[in-house]
RNA sequence: GCGGGUGUGGCGGAAUUGGUAGACGCGCCAGCCUUAGGAGCUGGUGGGCGAAAGCUCGUGGGGGUUCAAGUCCCUCCACCCGCACCA
């Protein structure tokens, strides 16, 4: 036996261990997975595509720690696992950097990618690097353009002039989803509304399926993400009601969820963006006031218009319009509380039963006519606010032939009545808008169409793809894409008439790039098609998708839309991209989000250099449940590092003790120490397996391995001196600890396993607990009197209820509590506890 | 305002179906080892009372169901996240 006291002082040095294993994995392409089915079930584990900028941050380390643990676990459970890597490498930050420094986005992006790849390798993440790509590579975006053409052919990509969100700082339009509280999601600048001709994807065609399929196909998604998407889609049932303005012989539909309140509509309001408002005011003397109001609205930012406590404003349009239910002429207004992008851009206003209309009517002294009354006296109608039903048992008043009807039934009755005379019908309205995908920026995927004077919009033929992004020198945006200045590139011949034509100079939103990358991974090297259908269907949908909740709406909804649209085109078998979604919590520092401005950013690199990747990764998983936010504490890192060092030293010590060999379980187990160790090892196997299966409880899984290692330290001296099977039990249990820890700390685990003679741990099957060590002969019986623990007695595990009861009663301590008192009830929970209920 | 979530020692967190609250780690205390310790090993560590045995209180507050509640129900509070003039 070697001198173990020397081992105690050996230093666990990850900088020696980790590169050794990384080199093996890299040289042997250990994590490469073939597309040829081999009988094993397939599993697709994917972390959200990283945007390569600077170097990876803690959020990246967390997402790959989670995903890698899962990928390793699946592999060792006999699955064929696809676990690829790539980069979301088009985007504004690289372009803004180019504007500042003149350095081409391609160069800075590719540098960042190299740094990301280098660091990911130092983390020892088990990636199939053969499938790596960046979305900025022509070999990738060729197919982004190809998909655009497919969507264009299917009528799902179109150009229209619309009131759109414009960020004056980034000099580009933004999708609705990219506007947060009236500000640009990227730079934080206040967003303006502009009328511009833009490209859209018709995601609204899929509104119902995006909504309904969440219920049937996304059981593996967190509820909060589904709720967010549901709210974003914003389906609401109601009616479209047509109001006629006889003085100009035009009619306007409105959307309402309350057709039952139509008799209370005492005015009509249109959005300032409504194309007809100035025309309506013409010849009424209100032209100027209306024009001024419309112009003033256009100047305002989204935030100013939507301010919480903002008083209602508006201007009379100088005309009246006819309420279709009672023929009343009601005044028309323009007001910015009506949004052009929702419904029809015009509303019927019912001040008695809508708070916004109420506020407007008060200010403009318009009649407030109550038409809904509570059925019961117990409900009060407020005197200074709109009455909005809360009971669902309201009735109509002042509503002609519908007076006395219940509010709920009247909705359908009024709608049907209107429908008979062609003045309305029931409809469904959505908050979801079509996805605005064009951006007036350089560093993105060019939209593959040309504009021809004769032929109009002409898609580029597939054979001409990719339309490559030209090299330019001036990246400064000027309200148009910088591409517009690349005249050599812009000026082309029309593919149809061969006449002079111009390329589209807008590029695509980078969310387009990331809406299909998970499909490309399945067949990343295919240069004839974006993927081979059979290959794609073998892997898709992604079994476990892991990433931040910040993508709950944007990326996740777009990816779902793409999958459904491509499915409908016959290109994809799946109807949903991600079967299970896991949203990991943030890593904070001192309780706050890490940010440069706070100066509390810590880099994974510094911890990898100091403690090794295993420590950093295991710490991230140990800190708490991975779906929760977690605060980074350096002391905690030290603790995990100590634990890994303990395991590593234990491996050396156990092996150098000389007794036993290899990592197999002993033939026989005798003695307290050997039994204790075997029980603990099998308990840990059982526990870690359960924690990996049911949920991502990596924190308790690691804690279980810590408990095992603690037990081994306690028993090792005894086991070594006993020798024989006892020493073998120690080898087995130590190897089991390494094996169980492998998904979380792969390098040190591989090292320990190898030291013990077990070979390559990742080639071994996930350990299975030996049931015979899981149950013990004895249990601790908890004895309660009136629900309070009064004694703990050791009892046989197979004792009957009566035996347990007798045992409990025979306790002297218990006697002190129950003697001389009346026994009311005796409760026995087999294997656990006895509760005696006494009185007096 | 609407929707969702969280609340447990000094700290991060455990507690599978209601059945020993506080696993594991950090921190702290003590002992051992050592020339030394900011290394390693062992033990202790929720509050109060007590020399101890033990008693008692205790999972944001209040109430309830139950033999038994961190867990179920009602109610209130605090914090976090999402949406928000959506007709």
In sequence order, what are the beta bridge partners of A630? Answer: A587
Closest nucleotide to A786: CA versus each C1': B67
Residue at shortest CA–C1' distance from B87: A256
Mean pLDDT for the stretch of residues A103-116 = 96
Which of A230-234, A764-768, A799-803 is the least confident region?
A799-803
The distance (Å) linking the CA of A703 with the C1' of B26 is 13
CA distance A624 to A717: 33
Coil, strand or helix at A789: strand
Q: What is the pLDDT of residue A3?
A: 45
The distance (Å) linking the CA of A432 with the C1' of B33 is 70
Contact A493, A423 (CB under 8 A): no
What are φ and ψ of residue A526, in 5° steps? -70, 120
Question: Which of the nucleotides in strand B have any atom less than 7 Å away from a protein CB atom?
Answer: 3-5, 11-16, 19-21, 23-27, 37, 39-43, 55-56, 67-69, 81-87
DSSP string, A422-483: TSEEEEEE-S---EE-EES-SSSPBP-EEEETTTEEEEPPGGG---PPPP-S-----SS-GG
State yes or no: ipTM above 0.90.
Answer: yes
The distance (Å) linking the CA of A3 with the C1' of B35 is 21
Beta-carbon contacts of residue A623 (< 8 Å; ≥ 6 apart):
A630, A631, A632, A633, A636, A699
Residue at shortest CA–C1' distance from B3: A227
Residue A698 has pLDDT above 90, yes or no: yes
Give the tens place of pLDDT for each residue, A541-599.
999 999 988 888 889 999 999 999 999 999 999 999 999 999 999 888 877 788 777 77
Listed residue (A645, A660, A616, A680) closest to A751, CA to CA: A645
Closest nucleotide to A782: CA versus each C1': B20
Give the tens place of pLDDT for each residue, A127-140.
999 999 999 999 99
The distance (Å) linking the CA of A431 with the C1' of B3 is 16
Q: How far is CA A787 from CA A517, A791, A809, A826, in A?
A: 58, 12, 15, 11
Cis check: omega of the bond before A466, within 30 degrees of 0: yes
Torsion of CA A377, A381, A382, A386, to 10 degrees: 160
Full 3-state SS string of A6-42: HHHCCCCCHHHHHHHHHHHHHHCCCCCCCCCCCCCCE
Which of A183-187, A349-353, A600-604, A801-805 is the least confident region?
A183-187
CA distance A73 to A766: 7
Which of A37-46, A183-192, A747-756 is the least confident region?
A183-192
DSSP A358: H
Which of A174-188, A273-287, A729-743 is the least confident region?
A174-188
Q: What is the pLDDT of residue A599?
A: 79
The distance (Å) linking the CA of A707 with the C1' of B62 is 40
Closest nucleotide to A256: CA versus each C1': B87
Q: What is the pLDDT of residue A476?
A: 83
Contact A314, A335 (CB under 8 A): yes
Closest nucleotide to A254: CA versus each C1': B87
Give the tens place of pLDDT for each residue, A413-433.
999 999 999 999 999 999 999
Q: How far is CA A122 from CA A12, A23, A604, A750, in A?
A: 17, 10, 10, 15
Residue A336 has pLDDT above 70, yes or no: yes
Contact A59, A550 (CB under 8 A): no
CA distance A769 to A694: 17
Q: What is the pLDDT of residue A1?
A: 35
Which of A7-16, A279-288, A658-667, A730-739 is the least confident region?
A7-16
- In a 13 Å sphere around the CA of A60, the CA atoms on its Cβ side amount to 24
Give the tens place of pLDDT for each residue, A467-521.
999 999 888 877 788 898 899 999 999 999 999 999 999 999 999 999 999 999 9
Torsion of CA A811, A813, A814, A815, to 10 degrees: 80
Q: What is the pLDDT of residue A506?
A: 92
Q: What is the pLDDT of residue A661?
A: 86
Q: What is the pLDDT of residue A818?
A: 80
The distance (Å) linking the CA of A411 with the C1' of B84 is 25
The distance (Å) linking the CA of A583 with the C1' of B5 is 14
Give the tens place of pLDDT for each residue, A701-736.
999 999 999 999 999 999 999 989 999 999 999 999
Q: What is the pLDDT of residue A430?
A: 92
Per the model's pLDDT, the better-predicted residue between A693 and A520 turns out to be: A520
pLDDT range class, residue A459, cuts 50, 70, 90: very high
Residue at shortest CA–C1' distance from B68: A787
Mean pLDDT for the stretch of residues A755-767 = 96
pLDDT range class, residue A391, cuts 50, 70, 90: low
The distance (Å) linking the CA of A550 with the C1' of B58 is 38
The distance (Å) linking the CA of A823 with the C1' of B45 is 38
CA distance A84 to A68: 11
CA distance A15 to A29: 21
Coil, strand or helix at A557: helix
Average of per-residue pLDDT values in chain A:
91
Q: What is the pLDDT of residue A2?
A: 40
Residue at shortest CA–C1' distance from B13: A624
The distance (Å) linking the CA of A410 with the C1' of B75 is 36
Percent of chain A with pLDDT over 90: 67
Closest nucleotide to A709: CA versus each C1': B24
The distance (Å) linking the CA of A630 with the C1' of B65 is 36
CA distance A722 to A724: 7
Closest nucleotide to A346: CA versus each C1': B87
Residue at shortest CA–C1' distance from B69: A787
Coil, strand or helix at A691: helix
Q: What is the pLDDT of residue A675?
A: 92
Closest nucleotide to A550: CA versus each C1': B82
A252 in the Ramachandran plot: left (φ > 0), alpha (ψ -120 to 50) or beta?
Answer: beta
CA distance A650 to A188: 53
């Amino acid at each position: 036996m070697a001198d173990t006291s020397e081992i105690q002082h050996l230093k666990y040095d990850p900088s020696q261990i980790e590169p050794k294993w990384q080199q093996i994995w890299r040289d042997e392409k250990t994590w490469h997975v073939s597309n040829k089915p081999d009988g094993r079930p397939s599993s697709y584990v994917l972390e959200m595509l990283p945007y390569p900028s600077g170097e990876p941050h803690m959020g990246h380390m967390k997402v790959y720690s989670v995903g890698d643990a899962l990928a390793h676990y699946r592999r060792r459970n006999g699955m064929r696992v696809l676990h690829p890597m790539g980069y979301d490498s088009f985007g504004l930050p690289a372009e803004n950097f180019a504007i500042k420094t003149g350095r081409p986005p391609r160069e800075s992006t590719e540098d960042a990618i190299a740094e990301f790849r280098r660091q990911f390798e130092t983390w020892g993440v088990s990636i199939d690097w053969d499938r790596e790509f960046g979305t900025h590579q022509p070999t990738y975006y060729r197919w982004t353009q190809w998909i655009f053409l497919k969507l264009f052919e299917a009528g799902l990509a179109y150009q229209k002039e619309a009131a759109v969100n414009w960020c004056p700082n980034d000099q580009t339009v933004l999708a609705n989803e990219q506007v947060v509280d009236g500000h640009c999601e990227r730079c934080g600048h206040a967003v303006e509304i502009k009328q511009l001709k833009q490209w859209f994807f018709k995601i609204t065609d899929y509104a119902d399926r995006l909504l309904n399929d969440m219920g049937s196909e996304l059981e593996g998604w967190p509820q909060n993400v589904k709720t967010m998407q549901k709210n974003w889609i914003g389906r609401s049932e109601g009616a479209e009601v047509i109001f006629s303005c006889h003085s100009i012989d035009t009619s306007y539909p409105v959307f309402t969820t309350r057709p039952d309140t139509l008799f209370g509509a005492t005015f009509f309001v249109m959005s300032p963006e409504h194309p007809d408002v100035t025309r309506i005011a013409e010849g009424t003397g209100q032209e100027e006031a209306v024009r001024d109001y419309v112009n003033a609205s256009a100047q305002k930012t989204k935030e100013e218009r939507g301010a919480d406590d903002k008083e209602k404003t508006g201007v009379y349009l100088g005309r009246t319009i006819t309420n279709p239910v009672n023929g009343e002429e009601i005044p028309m207004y323009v007001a910015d509380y009506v949004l052009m992008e929702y419904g029809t851009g015009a509303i019927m206003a019912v001040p008695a039963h809508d708070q916004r209309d109420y506020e407007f009517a008060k200010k403009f002294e318009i009649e407030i006519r109550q038409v809904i009354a509570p059925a019961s006296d117990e409900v009060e109608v407020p005197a200074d606010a709109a009455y909005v039903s809360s009971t669902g048992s309201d009735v109509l008043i002042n509503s002609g032939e519908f007076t006395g009807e219940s509010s709920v039934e009247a909705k359908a009755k009024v709608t049907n009545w209107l429908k008979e005379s062609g003045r309305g019908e029931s409809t469904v309205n959505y908050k979801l808008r079509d996805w605005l995908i064009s951006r007036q920026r350089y560093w993105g995927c060019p939209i593959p169409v040309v504009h021809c004077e004769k032929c109009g919009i002409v898609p580029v033929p597939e054979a001409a793809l990719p339309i490559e992004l030209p090299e330019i020198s001036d990246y400064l945006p000027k309200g148009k894409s910088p591409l517009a200045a690349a005249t050599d590139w812009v000026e082309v011949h029309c593919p149809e008439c061969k006449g002079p034509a111009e390329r589209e100079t807008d590029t695509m939103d980078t969310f387009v790039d990331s809406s299909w990358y998970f499909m490309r991974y399945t067949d990343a090297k295919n240069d004839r098609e974006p993927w081979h259908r059979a290959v794609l269907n073998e892997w898709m949908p992604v079994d476990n998708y892991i990433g931040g909740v910040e993508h709950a709406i944007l990326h996740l909804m777009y990816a779902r839309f793409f999958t459904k649209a491509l499915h409908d085109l016959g290109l994809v078998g799946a109807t949903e991209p991600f079967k299970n979604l896991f949203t990991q919590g943030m890593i904070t520092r001192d309780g706050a989000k890490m940010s440069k401005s706070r100066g509390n950013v810590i880099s994974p690199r510094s911890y990898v250099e100091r403690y090794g990747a295993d420590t950093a990764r295991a710490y991230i998983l140990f800190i708490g449940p991975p779906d929760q936010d977690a605060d980074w504490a350096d002391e905690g890192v030290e603790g995990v590092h100590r634990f890994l060092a303990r395991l590593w030293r234990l491996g050396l010590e156990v092996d150098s003790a000389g007794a036993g060999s290899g990592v197999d379980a002993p033939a026989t187990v005798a003695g307290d120490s050997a039994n204790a160790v075997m029980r603990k090892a099998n308990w840990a196997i059982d526990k870690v397996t359960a924690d990996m299966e049911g949920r991502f409880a990596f924190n308790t899984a690691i804690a279980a391995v810590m408990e095992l290692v603690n037990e081994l330290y306690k028993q090792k001296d005894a086991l070594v001196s006993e020798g024989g099977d006892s020493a073998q039990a120690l080898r087995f249990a130590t190897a089991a600890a390494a094996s169980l820890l492998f998904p979380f700390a792969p390098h040190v685990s591989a090292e320990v396993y190898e030291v013990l003679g077990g070979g390559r741990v990742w080639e071994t099957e996930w350990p299975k607990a030996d049931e015979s060590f899981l149950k013990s002969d004895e249990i601790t019986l908890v004895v309660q009197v009136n629900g309070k623990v009064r004694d703990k007695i050791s009892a046989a595990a197979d004792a009957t209820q009566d035996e347990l009861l007798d045992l409990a009663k025979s306790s002297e301590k218990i006697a002190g509590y129950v003697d001389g008192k009346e026994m009311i009830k005796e409760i026995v929970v087999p294997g656990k506890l006895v509760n005696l209920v006494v009185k007096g």
